[in-house]
Structure 1
Amino acid sequence: MNIERLSLDQLRVFVQVADSGSFLAAARKLARAQSAVSYAVATLEDQLGVLLFDRSGYRPQLTSPGVALLADARQVLDHVDSLQVRANSYARGQELEVSLAVDVFFPTDCLVDLLQRFRQAFPAVTVRLEVEALGAVAERVIDGRSMLGILGTLPTTPPNLLRITLPSVQLVAVVAPDHPLAQVKGRISEKLLQQQTQLVLSDRSELTARQDFSVHSRLTWRMSDLGTKHALLRAGMGWGNMPLHVVKNDLDTGRLVSISTIHHPPQGAELPIQCVYKPDHPAGPALSWWLDSLAALTALSPVSPAQA
């Protein structure tokens, strides 16, 4: 066996014969002489040291090794074709990868919609996505780990980043229906609010480490995962601010209730969302698509086919 001498052409001929059902049909598909197709397969069999086709019948039939190696041949050709597409795209100035850092408060439905539309526009470009909170999003853009960031929980934009203003997210303060704060009628006093445990997202970045945003209680439980915070709120472990799109079903079904304070109106407050990127980062076609698509958003919800 001398696998180093295998050629991609031999593999393509092998696959075509298997798909066409005969050497003659494969020769027609490939616009070659039947003898050339037969020779390519015979040479491949000799180099692999196995018989790929049983030629004893009217039509060639794949042998057991042939069936197994056909799957491998397809996989090799798929990888080569993908390499060619990506190389051609890169030669035209298109990025091979887009790296994004997205705030946990950004609506998942909107993000999924954007990713689906991006894949349709740039099928050869891979995506590296990180979901973070507070300063961790901006930090990843500043240090170059992410080309683009979507900020939500960080109230200020670092001065060394360019920004695009996006539609806002509605933020509401919520508790479980059996929580002591849920029993208070009207606005909750600052003193009473400070006596109850507040569930707060923690910051995993050095950019805003040890800084508190919208923290009003002396007793806090901190976590880095929005899903965990959501579960603890529903379990009555404290009160906290949540994006309305995340807790809307809980509010509709009574699993959570909104509270009103001097800081939190009952209908919620608008949380600004921004797209940020470094001014010196070259924007190829793929990154430009993200900047244009985000700037075109009029609401943080999936885009209808007519809008896309």
Structure 2
Amino acid sequence: MNIERLSLDQLRVFAQVADSGSFLAAAKALKRAQSAVSYAISTLESQLGLPLFDRSSYRPQLTAAGIELLRDARQVLDQVDALQARAAAYAHGQELEITLALDVFFPTSALVALLADFQLAFPGVTVRLEIEALGSVAERVLDGVAMLGVLGTLPIVPPNLLRISLPTVLLVGVVSPAHALAQISGRIPGHVLEQQVQLVLSDRSALTANQDFSVHSSLSWRMSDLGTKHALLRAGMGWGYMPRHVVADDLASGRLVRILTAGHPPEGAALPMQCVYRPDREVGPALAWWLDALAQLTSFDPA
């Protein structure tokens, strides 16, 4: 077996014969002489050391080995085609990969819809998502790791970033129905909130070190993962603010209940979301797509 001498052309001929059902039909599809197609297959079989087609009947039939190796051949051809497409796109200024840093409050439903559209527009571009909280999103953009970021939990945008205003996310105070705060009707005084554990999002970025946002209790448990906070709230481990779209099902089923706090309006607090990116970032087609798509958002559908 001399597999080092295999060519992509041989693999394409192999796949075409299998698809066409005959050497003659493959030759017509490839616009070659039938003898050239037959020679390419015979050479490939010789190099592999086994027959790919059974020629005993009127039409060539794939052998058992041919069926298995055809899958490998198609995989190789697909990878080569993808390589060529990505190289051509990059030569024309298109990014091969795009990294996005998104705030944990960014609605998953909106993200999924955007990613689905992006995949159709740029099937060859790899997407890397970093879901962060507070200053970590801006930090990823400032240090160049992320091409753009979507801020939500960080109320102050660093002045050296360009920004695009996005729809707001509504934050509501929630607690387990078994929690003591759930038994209080109306607005809960601040001195009562201070006596209960508040579940708070935190991060390790330098931008928000030693800073608190919407923290009303000295008894706070801090975490960087929104899913963990959500689970602890449902377990009755404390109270906290959550995006309404995240807890909508919990509120409807009664797993969580709304509470009114002195720091938030009755309908909830509208949290501005903003897309940010560095002014010196070179904007290729893929990044331009994201900037345009985010700028066109007018609302976030409930999850």
> TM tier, shorter chain?
over 0.9
Q: What code does the residue aligned with 1:146 have? A: A
1:22 corresponding residue in structure 2: 22
Matches within 5 A, 1:42-81: 42-81=42-81
Partner SS, residue 259 of structure 1: strand
1:306 corresponding residue in structure 2: none
Alignment: residue pair count: 302
Partner SS, residue 113 of structure 1: helix
Work out the CA distance in 2 between the residues paired with 1:205 and 1:214. Answer: 18
Indicate if the aligned counterparts of 1:194 and 1:217 stay in contact, CA closer than 8 A: yes
Matches within 5 A, 1:155-166: 155-166=155-166
- Superposed displacement of residue 62, structure 1: 1.4
Work out the CA distance in 1 between the residues paired with 2:151 and 2:124. Answer: 27
1:125 corresponding residue in structure 2: 125
Work out the CA distance in 1 between the residues paired with 2:301 and 2:41. Answer: 54
1:241 corresponding residue in structure 2: 241
Work out the CA distance in 2 between the residues paired with 1:42 and 1:276. Answer: 59
Work out the CA distance in 1 between the residues paired with 2:8 and 2:300. Answer: 47
The TM-score normalised by the length of structure 2 is 0.97
Partner SS, residue 299 of structure 2: coil
Q: What code does the residue aligned with 1:156 have? A: I
Work out the CA distance in 2 between the residues paired with 1:285 and 1:50. Answer: 47
Work out the CA distance in 2 between the residues paired with 1:52 and 1:206. Answer: 62
2:182 corresponding residue in structure 1: 182
- Superposed displacement of residue 209, structure 1: 2.4
% identical aligned pairs? 73
Work out the CA distance in 1 between the residues paired with 2:81 and 2:225. Answer: 39
Q: What code does the residue aligned with 1:54 have? A: D
Q: What code does the residue aligned with 2:280 have? A: D
Work out the CA distance in 1 between the residues paired with 2:204 and 2:24. Answer: 64
Work out the CA distance in 2 between the residues paired with 1:74 and 1:148. Answer: 36
1:250 corresponding residue in structure 2: 250
Work out the CA distance in 2 between the residues paired with 1:141 and 1:249. Answer: 33
2:134 corresponding residue in structure 1: 134
Work out the CA distance in 2 between the residues paired with 1:67 and 1:204. Answer: 54
Pairwise CA RMSD: 1.2
Residues 68-77 or 255-264, more deviating: 255-264
Residues 168-177 or 259-268, more deviating: 259-268
1:264 corresponding residue in structure 2: 264
Matches within 5 A, 1:288-303: 288-301=288-301
**In the TM superposition, what whole-angstrom CA distance separates every residue of 1:273-296 from its partner, at most 9, and x where no partner exists?**
000001000001110111111111
1:305 corresponding residue in structure 2: none
Work out the CA distance in 2 between the residues paired with 1:269 and 1:38. Answer: 72
Q: What code does the residue aligned with 1:11 have? A: L
Partner SS, residue 32 of structure 1: coil
The answer for unaligned runs of 5 or more in structure 2 is none
**In the TM superposition, what whole-angstrom CA distance separates every residue of 1:114-139 from its partner, at most 9, and x where no partner exists?**
11111111112111111111111111
- Superposed displacement of residue 18, structure 1: 1.0
Indicate if the aligned counterparts of 1:134 and 1:154 stay in contact, CA closer than 8 A: yes
2:87 corresponding residue in structure 1: 87
Work out the CA distance in 1 between the residues paired with 2:95 and 2:259. Answer: 47
- Superposed displacement of residue 88, structure 1: 1.2
Work out the CA distance in 1 between the residues paired with 2:87 and 2:190. Answer: 60
**In the TM superposition, what whole-angstrom CA distance separates every residue of 1:210-241 from its partner, at most 9, and x where no partner exists?**
32111111111122211111111111110000
Work out the CA distance in 1 between the residues paired with 2:89 and 2:75. Answer: 21
The TM-score normalised by the length of structure 1 is 0.95
Work out the CA distance in 2 between the residues paired with 1:261 and 1:89. Answer: 53
2:105 corresponding residue in structure 1: 105
Indicate if the aligned counterparts of 1:172 and 1:243 stay in contact, CA closer than 8 A: yes
- Superposed displacement of residue 177, structure 1: 1.2
- Superposed displacement of residue 301, structure 1: 2.9
- Superposed displacement of residue 69, structure 1: 0.9
Work out the CA distance in 2 between the residues paired with 1:183 and 1:199. Answer: 18
**In the TM superposition, what whole-angstrom CA distance separates every residue of 1:37-93 from its partner, at most 9, and x where no partner exists?**
000001111111221111122221212221111111000000011111111111111
- Superposed displacement of residue 246, structure 1: 0.7
**In the TM superposition, what whole-angstrom CA distance separates every residue of 1:235-288 from its partner, at most 9, and x where no partner exists?**
111000000111112112222111112102221010010000010000011101
1:228 corresponding residue in structure 2: 228
Work out the CA distance in 1 between the residues paired with 2:185 and 2:67. Answer: 72
Indicate if the aligned counterparts of 1:258 and 1:266 stay in contact, CA closer than 8 A: no
Q: Is 1:171 equivalent to 2:179 in the alignment?
A: no
